Amino acid sequence: MTTTPSAPDHQAAGGEAAEPPRIAVGVLGARGRMGTEVVKAVDAADDLELVAMVDDGDWLFNVADAGAQVVVDFTRPDVVMDNLRFCIDQGIHCVVGTTGFDEQRLATVAQWLEPKPDVGVVIAPNFGIGAVLLMRFAQEAARFFPSTEVVELHHPNKVDAPSGTAVRTARLVAAARRSAGLPPAPDATTDALPGARGADVEGIPVHAVRLTGLVAHQEVLMGAAGETLTLRHDSFDRASFMPGVLLAVREIGRRPGLTVGIESFLGL
Ligand SMILES: NC(=O)C1=CN([C@@H]2O[C@H](COP(=O)(O)OP(=O)(O)OC[C@H]3O[C@@H](n4cnc5c(N)ncnc54)[C@H](O)[C@@H]3O)[C@@H](O)[C@H]2O)C=CC1
Ligand SMILES: O=C(O)C1=N[C@H](C(=O)O)C[C@H](O)C1
């Protein structure tokens, strides 16, 4: 098992106060758009030490050999499960931003964690504080509006659609509607062209836009008689995800088991 990243300060042999040990961090997907940003952020943090950078074609054992206590994964939906399996088996805490997690995948990760009670894994569809708040606000507002639709807008190189954030937002809104006993949203149209009304996520239409010039954006549109409420979040730069990623890296050693989203790390 790796040492806990949140070990308390301790005294050096001579009685002088020693620096607390830095958390050893490995980055998976280190040459990607997000991985590059994470490498920079970890490098710049005094309490973190970048010990391994792994990308496609590199040897995953590098993170274990380098003594990583926490791994940050921003890779691809088709490889993230193998990465997680390896890291959990090695006793390495995981901070996962890669998308593609449905209930079945989450249950599998929880199962892998059972024999490793000290290991923490956080899987968050979005590490942007504003995006997390948007999801919470949408959840709060959902019961007051008969209609809700989600529009996510991203850079054209995004591998998946709709975004993980949009799917989670729609699920949270749908759950809030169910708890409040709301009927299905009124929607009298039939698609003249397939896809015109977006994807159906638990009764919430989700629309995905891909546009050169964008980074990561989301709108939640809510409508009632004579009024609408629009919640919008914009990530203009991937730096926007870093405070959430670093918070998760620092916290995960204190959070054994599986956590979905960083809401609880933010005290939400
Ligand atoms: N949770 C969040 O806040 C955010 C999540 N994302 C998600 O993160 C993921 C990555 O996004 P981007 O950085 O834009 O993609 P990207 O395509 O720029 O980067 C992915 C990197 O992973 C590497 N890779 C592929 N297979 C690998 C393997 N087996 N081991 C190690 N590295 C491997 C690729 O070579 C590439 O460098 C996507 O699922 C995206 O949706 C993106 C932004 C924010
Ligand atoms: O691929 C991206 O860029 C992003 N992916 C995440 C998602 O699918 O929700 C988070 C953010 O939207 C950026």
Contact 229, 145 (CB under 8 A): yes
Atom of ligand 2 nearest to the CA of 217: 12
d(CA 121, CA 71): 9
Residues 140 and 221 in one domain: yes
Residues 69 and 31 in one domain: yes
Question: What is the complex's ipTM, to 2 decimals?
Answer: 0.99
Residues 157 and 136 in one domain: yes
Split into its structural domains, the chain has a count of: 2
Q: What is the DSSP letter of 51?
A: E
**Residue 73 falls within a domain, yes or no?**
yes
Would you please indicate which residues are annotated as catalytic (active-site) residues?
154, 158
Residue 111, domain extent: 23-123+240-265
**Residue 162 falls within a domain, yes or no?**
yes
**Which are the contacts of 217, defined by CB distance < 8 A and separation ≥ 6?**
152, 153, 154, 232, 233, 234, 235
- DSSP SS3 for 27: strand
Ligand nearest to the CA of 162: 2
Atom of ligand 1 nearest to the CA of 31: 37
Pairing of strands 147-154, 93-96: unpaired
Residues 76 and 142 in one domain: no
d(CA 60, CA 115): 21
**Residue 251 falls within a domain, yes or no?**
yes
- DSSP SS3 for 246: helix
Residues 38 and 166 in one domain: no
d(CA 95, CA 127): 10
Distance 76 CA to ligand 1 centre (A): 5
* Known binding-site positions: 29-34, 56, 97-99, 124-127, 155, 164-165
Nearest to 72 by CA among 47, 57, 55, 58: 55
Residues 66 and 164 in one domain: no
Residues 45 and 104 in one domain: yes
**Residue 5 falls within a domain, yes or no?**
no
Is the Cβ atom of 81 under 6 angstroms away from ligand 1?
no
Q: What is the CATH number of the domain that holds 217?
A: 3.30.360.10
Is the Cβ atom of 205 under 6 angstroms away from ligand 1?
no
Atom of ligand 1 nearest to the CA of 82: 29
Residues 83 and 167 in one domain: no
**Residue 9 falls within a domain, yes or no?**
no
Tell the residue number behind the tokens 């975004």, with chain if given: 163
Residues 177 and 218 in one domain: yes
Nearest CA to ligand 2 atom 13: 216
Name the stretches of the chain with pLDDT < 50. 1-12
pLDDT at residue 226 in the model: 98
Residues 232 and 245 in one domain: no
Distance 8 CA to ligand 1 centre (A): 33
**Residue 191 falls within a domain, yes or no?**
no
Residues 144 and 76 in one domain: no
Contact 265, 251 (CB under 8 A): yes
Mutate to test the pocket of ligand 2, among 36, 154, 235 (most ligand atoms within 8 A of CB): 154
Residues 116 and 176 in one domain: no
Question: Token pair for residue 204?
Answer: 């919430």
Is the Cβ atom of 74 under 6 angstroms away from ligand 1?
yes
**Residue 2 falls within a domain, yes or no?**
no
The H-assigned helical ranges of the chain are: 33-44, 61-65, 80-89, 103-113, 129-141, 164-179, 242-251
Q: What is the CATH number of the domain that holds 89?
A: 3.40.50.720
pTM: 0.94
d(CA 104, CA 56): 25
Distance 64 CA to ligand 2 centre (A): 27
Distance 156 CA to ligand 2 centre (A): 11
pLDDT at residue 15 in the model: 61
pLDDT at residue 188 in the model: 77
Contact 206, 166 (CB under 8 A): yes
**Residue 144 falls within a domain, yes or no?**
yes
Is the Cβ atom of 33 under 6 angstroms away from ligand 1?
yes
